[in-house]
Amino acid sequence: QVQLVESGGGLVQAGGSLRLSCAASARKFNSYIMAWFRQAPGKEREFVARIDWNGGSTYYTDYYADSVKGRFTISRDNAKNTVYLQMNSLKPEDTAVYYCAASRLGGFGYNDYDYWGQGTQVTVSS
């Protein structure tokens, strides 16, 4: 069983930055593929970013939705069982509830992930 707790959401002006954190209680955290999804009102939950771990101290692979590529960066600290999402150059259309998710197999759809956090609200004002 994996428990995920997000933090770091809030209200920010367009062009600003936020960093989300997701603390995981999981044995062998480094064996999980971690991802961020978001859900805006009236819309489906959508993939934002994913980070795998391929062994070693620095070797990983990350993936991004086209809408956030170049602005968002996902990272993980396996020693702290934590994954981060650094969000820069935020736009009003980034407004959503952001969810952290974990899976042993990975993927880009929300059905590919077994464990979810409760979500944290990000609001970007114009």
Over residues 9-36, the mean pLDDT reads: 95
User: Which pLDDT score, from 0 to 100, does residue 27 have?
Assistant: 87
In 3D space, the residue among 78, 73, 77, 76 whose CA is nearest the CA of residue 63 turns out to be 73
User: Which pLDDT score, from 0 to 100, does residue 106 have?
Assistant: 84
In angstroms, the CA 24 to CA 46 distance is 21
Beta strands in 8-79 (DSSP E): 10-13, 18-25, 33-39, 46-53, 60-64, 72-77
For 80-122, the pLDDT digits (tens) are 999 999 999 999 999 999 999 999 988 999 999 999 999 999 9
Residue 31 has pLDDT above 60, yes or no: yes
Percent over 90 (pLDDT), the chain: 84
pLDDT confidence band for 33 (50 / 70 / 90):
very high
Q: Name the token pair of 49.
A: 């970013």
User: Which pLDDT score, from 0 to 100, does residue 57 have?
Assistant: 57
Residue 59 has pLDDT above 80, yes or no: no
